[in-house]
Amino acid sequence: MRTILVIEDSPLVLKILDHLFRQEHDLQPIFCASLAEAEVMLETSASLFFAAIVDLHLPDAPNGESVDLVMQYNLPCIVLSGSYNEQRRDELLLKGVVDYVLKESQHSYEYAFRLLHRLESNSQVKILIAEDSEATRHYIRHVLTPHRFQIIDARDGDEALQILQAQPDIDLLVVDHSMPGLSGFELVKVLRQQMKRSELIILGLSADAKGSLSAKFIKHGADDFLRKPFCPEELNCRVMSTLERRDLLRALKQAAQFDALTGLNNRRAFYEQGLKQFQQAQRGGHTLSVAMLDLDFFKRINDEHGHASGDAALIAFARAFTHAFPDALIGRLGGEEFAMISQQNGASLSQALDRLREQCASLKYAIGAPPLSFSAGIYHGPPDDLESLLHEADQRLYQAKRQGRGRSHWQ
C-alpha cells in the first residue's frame, strides 16, 4: 500500500480524486486542504508518503508554495493547475516536479494516476543515456530523475555498447544520432541484431533538421525519435508511452504463454518448449522422460465444495509440483491435466512423484475439502517424437487410474 499526500482545496477536484482513489486498492490518499495543514502533516509524518499530488494555487499558497514545501521533503510531486502558463510549466519541470497536469477533464486526472503507477515501477527501470554532449546528458538526467528511474550515462556509442553488454538488463536507451566513434545509427543496427524490441527500447535523438531523419532512425530499429531541442514534457511523455507499450507487449506475451490461474506454461508454450528440448536431446543423444498427471476426483471437489475450491486445489498443486521439479518443463494442458518433461529416468521420476503425492495429501487448500491426490503416467525413452511420447505417457496414466488412482505407472 502506497500513501499519497493530496494538497487540494477544490471540492469538485477532491470529489474526482476521491472517486479515482477508491478504484485503486494499492493507493491510500491523505487529503490536506491548505498549505498550513500540509506543513503539519509533512513535519510529523513525511516518511509515510510515497508521492504527492499538489494544487499549484491555494488560498494560503497562491504562488506554488505548496510545491516548494513538498519538494523540500524529496517527495515526487505531481502538480495540478487550473490554468496553463508555459513559463511556469517549464520552471516547475526544471525544478524537478514529476509533471504539470491541467485540470481539464477526467482524462487529466487519470493521467496523474498513470504517473503514480509508473513511479512504483520506475525504480526497477534502467535507462542508458548515450550522448556526447555533457550538457544534454545532464539535462536529460535532470528531467528523468524525478520519475525514479535508474540512470546511467555514456559519452559515445562505443561506451554505450560496452555498458549494454555488461548490463543486459537495461530497459531503455536514449541515443544521439551523431557521436564520435560508433554513431547512434550504427549502434542501433548492432543492438537490433542482438536484442528484440521487447528486450530494449531505443529512443533516438538528433538536432538535425532533416525531416527524413526520424524515419531513418526508426527504420534502423529505434522505437521512437525526438528532435533537439525538446521540452521536458515531451521527453517524459515519450519515455512513459514507450515503457507502457513495452509492458503491454510483455503482458500479452505472458497471457499467450502462461496459464492465467496457475502461472504454469499453457498447452501451446509447453509444446513449443518441449519440441526444443527434444531437438536438443536428439542432437546430444540423450533420453527424456515424459509424464502426464491428472488430479483425482477433481469434479467431486468442484461439485461438492465449489469452483473456488477447485481453483485453489489447482493453484496449490501447481506450486507444489513446480517446487518438487525445479529443473523440469511443466505445463497445465487444461482442466486438471498437467504434463512434464524431465531428464530423470522413469524409476527416479516415479519415486519423486510418490514424494510429491505425500506432500499433496497434507496441503490445505479449502475448508473441509478432501486431501489432494493425483495419478501419473510416465514414459522414458529416445526423444523421437513429442506427441508420441505424450501419448505413451497418457496411456500409462489411464492404467494408473484403472489400478485405483493415487499412483504412478511407468513400466
Residue 266 has pLDDT above 90, yes or no: yes
Highest mean pLDDT, choosing among 97-111, 245-259, 311-325: 311-325
Helix (H, G, I), strand (E, B) or coil at 339: strand
- 327-364 residue pLDDT tens: 999 999 999 999 999 999 988 999 999 999 999 999 99
pLDDT of residue 192: 87
What average pLDDT score do residues 274-287 get? 88
Average pLDDT estimate for 353-379? 93
With 70 as the cut, is the pLDDT of residue 79 above it? yes
Q: For CATH 3.30.70.270, list the domain ranges present in the chain.
A: 267-409
**13-19: average pLDDT:** 93
| Gap between the Cα atoms of 224 and 303, Å rounded | 53
User: What pLDDT, on the 0 to 100 scale, is given for residue 411?
Assistant: 67
CA distances from 336 to 106, 158, 350, 378, 388 (A): 44, 53, 19, 17, 21
Is residue 316 pLDDT above 90, yes or no? yes
Residues of the chain with CATH 3.40.50.2300: 2-120, 123-251
**Superfamily per CATH, domain 123-251:** Response regulator (3.40.50.2300)
Residue 12, CA distances (Å) to 9, 23, 26, 67, 180 in order: 9, 18, 23, 21, 54
Distance in angstroms between the alpha carbons of the first and the last residue of the chain: 53
Q: Does domain 267-409 have CATH number 3.30.70.270?
A: yes
| Residue 322 pLDDT class (50, 70, 90 cuts) | very high
Higher-confidence residue of 254 and 312: namely 312
CA 405 to chain centre: 40
The rounded mean pLDDT for the chain is 91
Q: Which three cell numbers stand for residue 408?
A: 504412478
Task: Answer yes or no: are the C-beta atoms of 28 and 2 closer than 8 Å.
Answer: yes
User: What are the tens digits of pLDDT across the range 28-39?
Assistant: 999 999 999 999
Distance CA 71, CA 337 (A): 55
pLDDT digits (tens, 9 = 90+) for 113-139: 999 999 988 999 999 999 999 999 999
pLDDT-derived band of residue 110, with 50, 70 and 90 as boundaries? very high
Residue scoring higher pLDDT (69 or 283) = 69
Residue 168 corresponds to which cell in the numbers above?
543486459
Share of the chain above pLDDT 70, in %: 99
Q: pLDDT tens digit string along 155-188? A: 999 999 999 999 989 999 999 988 888 888 889 8
| Residue pointed to by grid coordinates 544534454 | 136
User: Which pLDDT does position 249 carry in this prediction?
Assistant: 84
Between 382 and 312, the higher pLDDT residue: 312
Residues in contact with 321: Cβ distance below 8 Å, sequence separation at least 6, in sequence order: 264, 293, 330, 338, 340, 356
- Contact in structure between 107 and 132 (CB atoms under 8 Å): no
Grouping H, G, I as helix, E, B as strand and the rest as coil, residue 247 is helix
- Asked if residue 210 has pLDDT above 80, the reply is no
Homologous superfamily (CATH) of 2-120 is Response regulator (3.40.50.2300)
pTM for the whole structure? 0.71
In 3D space, the residue among 81, 34, 26, 33 whose CA is nearest the CA of residue 51 turns out to be 26
